[in-house]
Structure 1
């Protein structure tokens, strides 16, 4: 498969321990956000990133850690209303939070994702919100606060609020032909199969990202740990004979056209090794993926 396993820190009970484990097992990427682990995830990664300088890291901007809201208000980067609301993509806040993330992480993030831009967005305003965010992100790139940026969304693509061509158009408007939009992150799993089905037919966010040269980060590949209990022996046999439900589920995600990185949240070395093995196997054929879609639907 062309996909690689990366550590997602959203559900990690001990972010530092999980990151050290993953890095020691050869992980290339760890994904985090300022609001993860009660606002302590970035700080927990500082020592790990120093010990493994080759480990790439992505963070996010949008959701406001409860412990940082009052600091942002005092700094003039947040309004009291935005701090209370818990999510903000105002340019001043983006600039402030990214500079803060760089300091806390101890180095320049390789990617900064706009985190769920659809969150509490009034009707008709998503395009303007994304454009203003991209302008701020391009400025952060020019100041070497971040290396590149992307969009991490839970339902932005599935709801039709935006698509990859729109993101590319807005990035070019914000940063010109040499803009720094490099990636998208979205849920792909046996529960969220629509992107896989669309990609098999040559359209949708995975196919569009592949055509545009954007990296795709697949989030929630086990749907918060629910999938192993949902995958029947018959389904596992169809996907990957002799493999566990987790291995079969991850094989589907890693085989989806366009997926570059599969983000798994775990601090268990055995779970990580099994997952890495599943992701590292040869890709499932399009025919197998189509049969999975036919059985489960989208």
Structure 2
């Protein structure tokens, strides 16, 4: 669902200045809808998007990717800040060529940075050494809903590529209103005395699982946005995170 103008205005007030979308969101109309809704506000946000899904299905074919990046700039009315390959694990054999194409888009001024957004990087690990260009950022799933082997694969993949930064996404598995989040007390991951709600604690934990510099979270509620924006001042306990990761690995070995 595209954000309303009121929500965008509220986001700026709350200190949120980055938007994440994708070529295929909102039935392939996300960029046009965002530009129409935000209008002059759009230039006050850092905009990231993703390419790889098309009406006929998913493809990493370089000419399709480039055309999508070019179309994105036209529909937004501005150059996107970051363009990601969208779930390239669907076709690891084309990872290297697709990365080269997005790097070429950056050099041509079609985007300011490029990266890889992957739901599960494990299938990409074997292809990573063949990628001849270094992505500016890798975006991976983050948080307590992510399996231990996926967390490990995310760290290995970003390390293999030498990515400049690592972002997270979907810290609540896409639904912060799921009853499970009222039962899971992520506050155990925080240093003692940090007064946070359960949702805030879940977001704080996600910043460390795996370690990421920012997290994309979907919301249509100003109150939810305020709650999450306030949580970024807190940090997770490194020792608790390490213990949790070891428990995940031990469980996977049984």
TM bucket, shorter chain: 0.7 to 0.9
Aligned partners of 2:102 and 2:233: how far apart in 1?
33
**More RCO (CA 8 Å, sep 6+):** 1
Aligned-residue RMSD, C-alpha: 3.0
Q: How many residues align?
A: 245
Counterpart residue number, 1:9? none
How far is the alpha carbon of 1:242 from its aligned partner?
A: 5.1
Counterpart residue number, 1:284? 236
After superposition, give the CA deviation of every residue in 1:66-120 in whole Å (9 maximum; x if it has no partner): 4xxxxxxxxxxxxxxxx2xx2222111111111100000111111111111122x
Aligned partners of 1:37 and 1:238: how far apart in 2?
37
Pairing partner for 2:136 from 159, 175, 182? 182
SS at match of 2:43: coil
Counterpart residue number, 2:85? 114
Counterpart residue number, 2:154? 205
Question: Structure 1 length normalisation: TM-score?
Answer: 0.71
The structure-2 alpha-carbon separation of the partners of 1:218 and 1:227, relative to structure 1 and needing over 3 Å to count, comes to: farther
Counterpart residue number, 2:43? 53
The answer to whether residue 173 in structure 2 is matched with residue 215 in structure 1 is: no
The structure-2 alpha-carbon separation of the partners of 1:279 and 1:210, relative to structure 1 and needing over 3 Å to count, comes to: farther
Q: More deviation in 208-217 or 250-259? A: 208-217
Counterpart residue number, 2:223? 270
Aligned partners of 1:228 and 1:277: how far apart in 2?
21
Aligned partners of 1:287 and 1:49: how far apart in 2?
45
Aligned partners of 2:172 and 2:136: how far apart in 1?
25
The structure-2 alpha-carbon separation of the partners of 1:253 and 1:136, relative to structure 1 and needing over 3 Å to count, comes to: same
Pairing partner for 2:111 from 132, 143, 146? 146
Question: Structure 2 length normalisation: TM-score?
Answer: 0.82
Counterpart residue number, 1:94? 65
Is the contact between residue 99 and residue 145 of structure 1 (CA under 8 Å) also seen in structure 2? Answer: yes
Aligned partners of 2:11 and 2:149: how far apart in 1?
27
Counterpart residue number, 2:205? 252
How far is the alpha carbon of 1:188 from its aligned partner?
A: 1.1
The structure-2 alpha-carbon separation of the partners of 1:205 and 1:102, relative to structure 1 and needing over 3 Å to count, comes to: same
Counterpart residue number, 1:170? 131
Is the contact between residue 111 and residue 150 of structure 1 (CA under 8 Å) also seen in structure 2? Answer: yes
Is the contact between residue 151 and residue 183 of structure 1 (CA under 8 Å) also seen in structure 2? Answer: yes
The answer to whether residue 89 in structure 2 is matched with residue 136 in structure 1 is: no
Is the contact between residue 2 and residue 34 of structure 2 (CA under 8 Å) also seen in structure 1? Answer: no
After superposition, give the CA deviation of every residue in 1:143-163 in whole Å (9 maximum; x if it has no partner): 2111221111112x2xx3223
How far is the alpha carbon of 1:214 from its aligned partner?
A: 2.3
Aligned partners of 1:15 and 1:260: how far apart in 2?
26
Q: Which stretches in structure 2 are left out of the alignment for 5+ residues?
A: none
Aligned partners of 1:147 and 1:274: how far apart in 2?
30
SS at match of 2:131: helix
Counterpart residue number, 1:31? 20
SS at match of 1:255: coil
Aligned partners of 2:13 and 2:132: how far apart in 1?
36
Is the contact between residue 3 and residue 34 of structure 2 (CA under 8 Å) also seen in structure 1? Answer: no
